[in-house]
Amino acid sequence: MTTISHTAVARVLVGTAFAYVADYRTVPDWFFGVSRFVPLGHLDHGLGACFDVAIKVGPKAIRTTVEVTEFEPDRLITLQSQGTHGAVSRWTFAPGVDVGTTALSAEFVYSLPGGFAGRALGALVDPFATQAIRATDAALRRNLERAAG
């Protein structure tokens, strides 16, 4: 398992940041590589909501289903990929040190196959994941701060 963590501060209130991240319609606007994030079933947010996701990883798009496995308003959202990809993304929200700011923390956990194939794939995926987190963070903070005006 590989875990990548990232924390940043956005100049918006916690409730604003949480509502934006929790809104499935905004995900392709800020989550690097995501081109599709569509609800499956009647739930479109909150615990148990499932989404059909397309994400470009390197030259290839991967389709998966993710489920919201943790959802605590204004504090936590965890998404777990269903099936063989086994990725988890956890977003936490807390008041920042400065008034009117939010500390955003993201943690991404993914597993790769073992052996030579896994090491070779890791050599491609790990740098992509680091780049994706930086791009996701920058886009998310930019969009949040722009929306807050």
Q: CA-CA distance, 30 to 7, in Å (whole number)?
A: 16
pLDDT of residue 117: 57
- Cα radius of gyration (the chain): 15
pLDDT of residue 85: 56
- So what's the architecture of 2-148 in CATH? 2-Layer Sandwich (3.30)
Q: Decide: 37 and 60 in contact? Cβ < 8 Å.
A: no
pLDDT, tens digit (0-9, with 9 covering 90-100), for 80-108: 998 755 788 999 999 999 999 999 999 98
Does pLDDT of 65 surpass 90?
yes
The structure tokens listed for 147 are: 């929306």
Q: What is the pLDDT of residue 112?
A: 64
**pLDDT of 120 over the 80 cut:** no
Select the more confidently predicted residue: 125 or 24: 24
pLDDT tens readout for residues 3-36: 888 999 999 999 999 999 999 999 999 999 899 9
